[in-house]
């Protein structure tokens, strides 16, 4: 799950990025509306957290432009503007929720989970394959009743592979799912995560196949 934060208050932006990263999301943070507009065109996000008072392009304009080409991504507005008029205006422009500053990070996290859950459409955020199930919102994988002890990066790799079960997933795609889109990472790290994941999903009836030069595929074990 990738989240874009648009917030020009550096302390708040950093706190949000830290908190959401700890929860296992891939998080990008930009500090003005023009950069948010660009990021929303360049990459695919699962959620946008949007401040209203922003340099260059304000939050309302970012939202207006976004909704012209993407009606799908959930948007959570953060604002110090408490008037009912601002809330109504934001929601009318296509925001899904509205949080007035100051707020607690716990509340923000709860709203993020709710929006991501709703964003999945079906109301069921679980993906199941063979004996393995994965809750895409709570970020918990289990084999039968047993919860797997996965790091946030291993979790992100598993999610990306599960979403394309039986199909090849490139290392580039895995890197995108794990890291912020503007960060440079080597592919060696991906190999390490896949290696660990293979061991941890033993007993799931699934295995990760390596397709040299192309990527990985999560598949049912032939003799499971
Ligand atoms: Ca602001």
Q: Which two tokens stand for residue 63?
A: 């939202």
Q: Give the global pTM.
A: 0.72
pLDDT at 5: 98
Q: Which two tokens stand for residue 95?
A: 């925001």
pLDDT digits (tens, 9 = 90+) for 68-115: 988 889 999 998 877 778 888 888 889 999 999 999 999 999 999 999
Report the phi/psi class of residue 166: left, alpha or beta, with left for phi > 0 and alpha for psi in -120 to 50: left
Q: How confident is the model at residue 224 (pLDDT cuts 50, 70, 90)?
A: very low
pLDDT at 54: 94
pLDDT at 193: 92
Share of the chain above pLDDT 90, in %: 62
Cα–ligand 1 centroid distance for 99 (angstroms): 13
Cα atoms found within 13 Å of the Cα of residue 67, Cβ hemisphere only: 15
Q: What is the mean pLDDT of residues 151-162?
A: 90
CA-CA distance, 168 to 30, in Å (whole number)?
32
Cα–ligand 1 centroid distance for 54 (angstroms): 5
Is the pLDDT at 126 greater than 90, yes or no?
Answer: no
Cα–ligand 1 centroid distance for 61 (angstroms): 14
Is the pLDDT at 186 greater than 90, yes or no?
Answer: no
Cα–ligand 1 centroid distance for 57 (angstroms): 11
Cα–ligand 1 centroid distance for 56 (angstroms): 11
Instruction: Say how far residue 19 (Cα) sits from the centre of its chain.
Output: 13
- Surrounding residues of ion ligand 1, Cβ less than 5 A: 8, 51, 53
Strand partners, 191: none
Question: What is the CA angle 185-142-18, rounded to 5?
Answer: 40
Cα–ligand 1 centroid distance for 34 (angstroms): 14
Residue with the bigger pLDDT between 199 and 178: it is 199
Cα–ligand 1 centroid distance for 135 (angstroms): 33
């Amino acid at each position: 799950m990738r989240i874009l934060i648009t917030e020009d208050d550096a302390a708040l932006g950093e706190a949000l990025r830290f908190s959401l990263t700890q929860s296992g999301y891939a998080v990008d943070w930009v500090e003005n509306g023009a950069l948010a507009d660009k990021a929303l065109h360049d990459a695919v996000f699962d959620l946008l957290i949007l401040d209203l008072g922003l340099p260059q392009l304000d939050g309302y304009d970012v939202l207006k432009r976004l909704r012209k080409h993407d009606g799908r991504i959930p948007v959570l507005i953060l604002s110090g503007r408490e008037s009912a008029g601002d809330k109504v205006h934001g929601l009318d422009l296509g925001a899904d929720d509205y949080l007035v500053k100051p707020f607690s990070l716990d509340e923000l996290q709860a709203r993020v989970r709710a929006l991501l859950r709703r964003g999945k459409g079906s109301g069921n955020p679980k993906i199941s394959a063979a004996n393995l199930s994965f809750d895409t919102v709570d970020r918990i994988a289990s084999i039968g009743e047993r919860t797997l002890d996965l790091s946030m990066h291993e979790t992100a790799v598993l999610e990306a592979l599960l979403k394309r079960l039986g199909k090849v997933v490139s290392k580039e795609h895995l890197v995108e799912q794990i890291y912020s889109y503007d960060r440079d990472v080597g592919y060696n790290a991906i190999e390490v995560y896949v290696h660990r994941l293979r061991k941890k999903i033993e007993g799931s009836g699934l295995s990760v196949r390596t397709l040299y030069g192309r990527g990985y595929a999560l598949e049912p074990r032939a003799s499971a």
